Amino acid sequence: MTSSHEPIEVTVEKIAFGGQGIARKDGLVYFIPFSAPGDRLMVRVTDEKKNFRTAEIQEILSPGPERVTPPCPVYGRCGGCNLQHISYEEQLRQKQNLVLEQLKKNLTTDTEILPIVPSPTPFHYRNRIQLKFDGQRLGFYERKSHTIIDLEDCLICDDRLTAQFSDLKKSLSEKKQPAPKVELFLNTENQVESSLSDSGPTEGLGFSQVNQAQNINLTSTLKQWISEDPSEKIYDFYAGAGNFTFPLLDQFRRSTVHSVELSEKSVKDAKRRILEMNLSPKRVQFFCSDVGAFLKRVILQDDSIAILDPPRVGCADQVIHSLAPQNLKKIYYISCNPSTLARDLTLLKNWKIGRLQAFDMFPQTDHIEVLAELVIDSR
């Protein structure tokens, strides 16, 4: 048995949920940040738990076949990306495997598993970022710290946002006002919007998908799957400002969409758009409500379709318990966290996954987006 202080040699098998590499030695599992599959490494243990160890790389004895030189000069220091040292093709393979591993208990022999959809651009894809400003430095936090890395560029951000960094820093410094949170957003007219806040939680610019080109792929797949068996009534739960609601209204002219969203700002934006588009309340209604509270007071129409796109924590138990027995045609669950998706699907007892596809919405990071088509389980 090796002492925790001695460096040990390991070979990395694969990437685990969360982005760290996994290696096994003498019956123990090692999680190693910034390692790549196939890496032969000398590592030093940094944390010991009963069943696993966390370790850091001391030396790369031989790199795995898909290890690449990360292009960003602050990679590893910055708290943003954690997969830049792995080729993009390998990131996709690892993410596909991770989704299947996380959902293994929820898959049946009938589940159609489609290949992960690559991001149209693996860099420069983010159209929304939150920066920090401490009076001098503007950028992201360093990994595991509250020190800000002063940034001139960020390789995963859209160039039109990074082009604002130096002017923004100048104007924030001149104002001499604290603004620890600075949000930049590229709107649908390709104009940069910003929101500053000095403390506490803020709705900022509201939720929007960060990778617009990939969001278009996700939305078209959702529309395609629904079009194979449409319904006159669609519920868009956790609707944001209508990212799915409006494309669905456009495609399914005979359907009514009822959308439910908690954020007042997003609901206000959606209602403004409904007015601008002159859409009748017979076609669309937006409700500013918690989804669980909505489901307590509303009985869903038989044979309707429900879309769920909750935050990373997944759906509240109450949401799952009230949806499970309803007479719905299909449920489309869009998840940015396969582990809470797996938990929610286990609770949705009489439903099973008909089709599954992952979308790489967040290249260079361990985050994964998944679309699951759920059908009544008649076994």
Ligand X SMILES: C[S@@+](CC[C@H](N)C(=O)[O-])C[C@H]1O[C@@H](n2cnc3c(N)ncnc32)[C@H](O)[C@@H]1O
Using CB under 6 A, which of the segments 19-27, 74-82, 102-110, 239-247 binds ligand X? 239-247
Which residue is associated with the tokens 């361990």?
366
* 249 near ligand X (CB under 6 A): no
Closest distance of CB 336 from ligand X, Å? 6
**Cβ closer to ligand X: 221 or 266?**
266
Q: Where does residue 375 rank: exposed (0-12), middle (13-18), buried (19+ CB within 10 A)?
A: middle
**Cβ closer to ligand X: 238 or 252?**
238
Which DSSP letter does residue 106 get? G
Q: Which residue of the chain is nearest ligand X when measured via CB?
A: 240
Which residue is associated with the tokens 């910055």?
78
**Cβ closer to ligand X: 87 or 263?**
263
* 35 near ligand X (CB under 6 A): no
CB 41 within 8 A of CB 35: yes
One of 39, 158, 261, 366 touching ligand X (CB under 6 A): 261
* 151 near ligand X (CB under 6 A): no
**Cβ closer to ligand X: 133 or 207?**
207
* 269 near ligand X (CB under 6 A): no
* 257 near ligand X (CB under 6 A): no
* 240 near ligand X (CB under 6 A): yes
Chain centre to alpha carbon of residue 295: 25
* 238 near ligand X (CB under 6 A): yes
Which DSSP letter does residue 78 get? B
**Cβ closer to ligand X: 90 or 309?**
309
Span 200-229, contacts to ligand X by CB under 6 A: 207-209
Run of H or E including 343: helix 338-347
Q: How many residues bind ligand X (CB under 6 A)?
A: 19
* 309 near ligand X (CB under 6 A): yes
Query: And the tokens for 204?
Result: 């900022």
Query: And the tokens for 225?
Result: 């799957």
* SS3 state at 238: coil
The region that residue 36 occupies, defined by phi over 0 for left and psi between -120 and 50 for alpha, beta otherwise, is: beta
Q: Is 81 an annotated catalytic residue? A: no
CB 356 within 8 A of CB 114: yes
Using CB under 6 A, which of the segments 127-135, 172-180, 193-201, 238-246 binds ligand X? 238-246
Closest distance of CB 33 from ligand X, Å? 26
Number of helical (H) and strand (E) elements in the chain, helices listed first: 9, 19
CB 81 within 8 A of CB 125: no
* Closest C-alpha among 243, 268, 270, 274 to residue 336: 243
Run of H or E including 174: helix 165-175
**d(Cα 87, Cα 105) in Å, to the nearest integer?**
29
Closest distance of CB 290 from ligand X, Å? 4
* Closest C-alpha among 5, 102, 101 to residue 53: 5
Q: Where does residue 142 rank: exposed (0-12), middle (13-18), buried (19+ CB within 10 A)?
A: middle
Closest distance of CB 261 from ligand X, Å? 5
* 65 near ligand X (CB under 6 A): no
Span 318-347, contacts to ligand X by CB under 6 A: 336
**d(Cα 248, Cα 237) in Å, to the nearest integer?**
13
* Closest C-alpha among 347, 333, 368 to residue 225: 333
One of 116, 172, 239, 328 touching ligand X (CB under 6 A): 239
* Selected catalytic residue, list 78, 81, 154, 336: 336
Span 278-307, contacts to ligand X by CB under 6 A: 290-291
Using CB under 6 A, which of the segments 30-38, 75-83, 184-192, 260-268 binds ligand X? 260-268
Closest distance of CB 364 from ligand X, Å? 20
* 147 near ligand X (CB under 6 A): no
Closest distance of CB 164 from ligand X, Å? 23
Closest distance of CB 61 from ligand X, Å? 41
- Please enumerate in sequence order all residues whose Cβ is within 8 A of that of 3, keeping only pairs 6 or more positions apart, or say none: none
Closest distance of CB 296 from ligand X, Å? 12
Binding site for ligand X (CB under 6 A): 207-209, 238-240, 243-244, 260-263, 266, 290-291, 309-311, 336
Catalytic sites, residue numbers = 336
